[in-house]
Structure 1
């Protein structure tokens, strides 16, 4: 699985392949039960672990974008688990 963690402005974005979506969701669900998603225009607002993220999948390039320091920490934890780092 190829995942990347990028700095986007002041926060982080977890980037992955469309074929890895199920594995990313399974990782989130195992670590942070109660994930919720709600469509918001061209994006989806996803909540888990007490934080809110923006999920986008433009041009088959999915990403999960944090909007807080705590969200950045959650994305780092997910990245570490999925990348094997």
Structure 2
């Protein structure tokens, strides 16, 4: 699995993955944080889980989940660890 957590210039984080991994990312979010709320927009969806808000984009077949806060970035790091099978 090639899920990668990137640091963005604005200090937030983005979880990058392939279209084939979308279901695995969804399942990891559900396993770790439970219910997900989603609000679709024209070019992205705003989603919320674990008490934090995120932007989901899938431009050019390159899906990503962008944290809107530092706390959200920590949740993305948990997802990356969960999917990579590491615990630290």
TM-score, with length taken from structure 1:
0.95
Point out 4+ residue stretches in structure 1 off by more than 6 angstroms: none
> Can you give the 5+ residue segments of structure 2 that lack an aligned partner in the other structure?
none
The residue aligned with 1:75 is 76
- Give the superposition deviation at 1:84: 2.7
- Which is strand-richer, 1 or 2? 1
In 2, Cα distance between equivalents of 1:67 and 1:39: 16
Alpha-carbon shift at residue 83 of structure 1 (Å): 1.9
In the alignment, structure 1 residue 46 sits paired with structure 2 residue 47: yes
Query: In the alignment, what sits opposite 1:6?
Result: 6
**5+ unaligned residues in a row in structure 1: which ranges?**
none
**Alpha-carbon offset, residue 28 of structure 1:** 0.1
How many residue pairs align between the two structures? 85
- 1:84 pairs with 2:85: yes
TM-score, length of structure 2 as denominator length = 0.92
Question: What is the RMSD of the two structures over their aligned residues, measured on CA atoms?
Answer: 0.9
Deviations 1:21-66 (A, max 9, x none): 0000000001111111111220000100000000000010000000
Which position in structure 2 is the counterpart of 1:16?
17
